[in-house]
Chain A
Amino acid sequence: MNRGLLLKSLIDARAVTVLLATAMLLAEGVLSYVLPTVMTDFSSQILQVPFIRTMISALLGADIGDSLVPATFIAIAWVHPVVLAIVWTHAIVFCTRVPAGEIDRGTIDLLLSLPVSRWQVYVAETVVFLGTGLAVLAMGMLGHRLGILSLAPRDRPGLGRMLVIVANLYCLYMAVGGLAFLVSAISDRRGRAIAAVFGILLASFLLNFLAQFWPPAQAVRFLSLLNYYQPLPLVRTGDLPVWDIFILTGFAAVTWTAGGVWFARRDVCTV
């Protein structure tokens, strides 16, 4: 592993990582505090409104049952659009830097003039991506643990169950990153790459959402990345979602490898 490339990648990513890690800490802290403590009081009213019930089920990607317990709200805190937006933003912003971002701003000339192969550049970028992603999710976990301190100890989910959710979310993060690496590898413009990945994720989100109440979407729901990230059953059972993790990491591996092969073979030109 080339330490210089790692350092370059870290310096380049430090600002966005600190910003998003802080945002994750705050978002998880607030959601984990507000949702179970405040919203539980209104759970019976919420369940009586069919539209809201459907919306929550759609967001969670699973039936919420007949009662809204603190565990349900904790699950919501991990699929909340703000949390997903933070995680996706980090993955997309990070993984579209090489090569699309570097080509776009012209720094690729300097980077590729160094005595390293493109695969070395790609791998170093990936290692920092994985490390900083872990830091962002760890901050989310910290926020979550602080947020649930207000709950009665019996209502607090165990650390093990939460780690399973975070592991699943991390796999989703890797899948988004892999996709972003692939799109970046075939693009010369970072803006276009970001827009393309964001568009795919938005479609993925909507598909998973619609699948809860629209049968045609249900048939193709397996195409949505969010189909493989459903925190509610994990909060309830604590079982490791082996199949979901397998699908997400498999998708990440395939797209990441395809991106690397493309990057290694393509012409790189800033004009």
Chain B
Amino acid sequence: MSVSVIVTEQLTHRYGVRTGIERLDLQVAEGSLFGFLGPNGAGKTTTIRVLLGFLRPNGGRASLFGRDCWRAGARIRQDVGYLPGDLRLYPSATGRELVRIFGLVRHRDLAAPGRDLADRFALDMSVPVRKMSRGMRQKLGLILAMAHEPRLLVLDEPTASLDPLMQDELIQYLRGNAAQGHTIFFSSHTLSEVERLCDRVAIVREGRLVANEPLESLRARARRRFTIRWTSEQVSRDVVPPGFLRLDERREHTWHGSLKGEVPELVRWAATQPIEDLAIGHPDLESLFREYYTREASVT
């Protein structure tokens, strides 16, 4: 049985009258690649801030490695690496100076791992932060978060400003990390990022958790897109769609829609129809997530 690195119970934080998060229950198992999804302003960053001890909960509790996030913040953060969503660094310091400072604060020599990561992400560490591009600063932020090989890596929108090659490099690195038993808490509002990396996903909306399940089970529930090309426009108009199809668009010879039932059911039905071509896509997680983002859903 895996140990939970992050546990929140009925966690609530309010900014005055505005709700940040409301009765959030979350468990993240050690060694998992955990995606934390939600639209902007949903409460993702607030949750992270409470977990790191920046904010004091108004209700409920939050713990990392079994310790209270507010009371034992300094001890907990020994094993945590954090990349903020809106990363800001000290402008007058160079990358090398920052790695040295972080090493001194953590009582560890981070020069060698910092250099290795800088090589991996192709970053010149001698440049002062004020002269770095946004992408370079993001790479430096990642190096500072990862150089001490933390047990828990909390990344808030980590691929922002990274080019596709560097995104691949990062994802490869994170997978390797998770394989060694490290936990990755990956916050994003972009599904494709989370889909590429994570094995479990929680979705937060208006401060509340609306889903928390393995990515595979979400995929199983997600509908597939389909395209049917009929032999004639007349047929396309005359055929009545069966119950397991949701037709979004009927144009000339072609139908576009999503599959509410199973693939074999569609294939069997299609075999009896005057169809010229049938294309069935991958489960469309994007639509499923959009539904979660826009409607009230029950906690799974």
Contact surface of A with B, Cβ cutoff 8 Å: 2-5, 7-8, 11-12, 14-15, 105-110, 112-117, 120, 265, 267-271
CB contacts between A and B, total, < 8 Å: 92
Ordered by A's residue number, 29 sampled pairs between the chains whose C-beta atoms are within 8 Å are: A2-B105, A4-B104, A4-B105, A7-B104, A8-B90, A8-B101, A11-B97, A12-B90, A15-B92, A107-B88, A107-B89, A107-B90, A108-B54, A109-B54, A109-B88, A110-B82, A112-B52, A112-B54, A113-B84, A114-B102, A115-B77, A116-B74, A117-B73, A117-B74, A267-B54, A269-B15, A270-B86, A271-B45, A271-B86
The contact string, 1 if C-beta is below 8 Å from chain A, for chain B 208-235, is 0000000000000000000000000000
B127 within 8 A of A: no
Q: Which residues of B contact A117 (CB under 8 A)?
A: 73-74
From DSSP, what is the main secondary structure of chain A's interface residues?
helix
> With A267-B55, A269-B54 given, is the CB distance from A110 to B88 under 8 Å?
yes
A3 to B88, Cβ gap below 8 A? no
Q: Which residues of B contact A114 (CB under 8 A)?
A: 77, 102, 105-106
- Taking a contact as CB atoms closer than 8 A, the residue among A2, A107, A113 that contacts B80 in the complex is A113
A115 to B53, Cβ gap below 8 A? no
Q: Which residues of B contact A115 (CB under 8 A)?
A: 74-78, 80, 105-106
Question: How far does the alpha carbon of A106 sit from the alpha carbon of B89 in the complex, in Å?
Answer: 8
Q: Which residues of B contact A109 (CB under 8 A)?
A: 54, 82, 84, 86-88
A113 to B77, Cβ gap below 8 A? yes
A11 to B80, Cβ gap below 8 A? no
B42 within 8 A of A: no
A112 to B92, Cβ gap below 8 A? no
> With A267-B55, A269-B15 given, is the CB distance from A2 to B92 under 8 Å?
no
B56 within 8 A of A: yes
Closest partner residue, chain B, to A108 (CB atom):
B54
B144 within 8 A of A: yes
- Taking a contact as CB atoms closer than 8 A, the residue among B81, B87, B92, B106 that contacts A4 in the complex is B106
Question: How far does the alpha carbon of A14 sit from the alpha carbon of B93 in the complex, in Å?
Answer: 11
The contact string, 1 if C-beta is below 8 Å from chain A, for chain B 54-95, is 111000000000000000011111101110101111101100
B87 to A110, Cβ gap below 8 A? yes
Q: Which residues of A contact B15 (CB under 8 A)?
A: 269
Question: How far does the alpha carbon of A268 sit from the alpha carbon of B86 in the complex, in Å?
Answer: 15
Task: Determine how close the nearest CB of chain A comes to the CB of B199; give it in whole angstroms.
Answer: 25
Q: Which residues of A contact B78 (CB under 8 A)?
A: 115
Question: How far does the alpha carbon of A7 sit from the alpha carbon of B102 in the complex, in Å?
Answer: 10
